[in-house]
Amino acid sequence: MHARLTPLADPMIAVLLIATALAWVVPATGEARATAQTISSAAIFFLFLVNGMRIARGEIGNGLANWRFFAPLFVWVFGVMALAGWGVGVLAASVLPPLVALGFVYLGVLPSTIQSATSYTTLANGNAALSVVGAALINIAGVFVSAPLFAVLSGESGANIGSEMIVRIGLILVLPFLVGQALQGWTREWIVARRSQVVWLDRIVIGIAVYVAFSGAIEEGLAHLFTLADWAILLGLCVFMLMVATAGAWMLSGLLGYPRGDRIAFLFAGVQKSVAVGAPLAAILFPAQVAGFVIAPLLIYHLIQLIWAAPLATMFARSQG
């Protein structure tokens, strides 16, 4: 008997929907938005501190040693997927608001998920250990790679990654992660023992970042600028990107000669995009009135990937058993 996950089982779906609905009904505007942004920044700092505590330094070393898996995964996530996001963004620019089209470029440069990629790899009887290490390394790399890569691909229409922005990313994302790595000898065992609570920390911080971003977008007229037809087009483009990415990742892992378990790990670690990095990073890179538009493709893609991953993983498990 294999464990089963229903398409709507992941609590992150509810968190994203609730955060978006709250921003729509009671957005943080004016002085309240400044307060919400401060709370969001503090929560993001704490989240990356905990991430540094829980990702073992030994796992990072083991992953780097397995270059035959990690190097192609790195190229896929930050090369192929980044270019795919840029390409879909070009298509979207003719039918969607410019900032939303830009969001596909942002989506493409983001790293993989860790939690859901590992969960679905396990469900599919894939190489879960490889998935954990691969997704963790990609997430660490994303803290350093995603912002400058986005700046290159987006050109003048994207974020201005100047010295002030680099310092802000360093203080809110990189510094707490490095501090967590330094402290993990004393704290990691305590963190790991409370894994279920830490997962909810992820969700709450992401929810806050999404709420602040969408509050700014609502204040700037998202409800009036974005029609039902626009949402339908956005949904269709996200589905298209996910389906092409899924087929491409599976084909590439086959061409590389990976065994079945490693191919499954490559698929889920390479195709799923991390809102855990994307939402906090957007809160740093963009003003709140811009961030809500830019992360719209990420939120839709994330919801679709969670819904799509459950039956896909179950299919893999059944085909093997």
Higher pLDDT, 84 or 224: 84
**Which of 92, 105, 99 lies closest to 146, judged by CA?**
105
* pLDDT at residue 56 greater than cutoff 80: no
Model pTM?
Answer: 0.79
Name the pLDDT band for 217 (thresholds 50, 70, 90).
Answer: confident
DSSP string for 119-136: HHHHHTT--HHHHHHHHH
Could you give the domains of the chain?
Answer: 59-172+203-316 (1.20.1530.20)
Distances (CA, A) of 83 to 19, 38, 42, 75, 109: 29, 33, 32, 11, 8
The structure tokens listed for 135 are 């997704």
- Around 97, how many Cα atoms within 13 Å sit in the side-chain half-sphere? 22
| Per-residue model confidence (pLDDT) at position 9 | 57
Name the pLDDT band for 27 (thresholds 50, 70, 90).
Answer: confident
The whole-number average pLDDT for the span 136-161 is: 77
**Which of 255, 299, 258, 304 lies closest to 279, judged by CA?**
299
Write out pLDDT tens, residues 60-76: 666 567 788 889 999 99
Judged on CB neighbours under 10 Å (0-12, 13-18, 19+), 29 is middle
Q: Tell me the average pLDDT of the chain.
A: 81
| Per-residue model confidence (pLDDT) at position 195 | 73
- Give the CA radius of gyration of the chain: 19
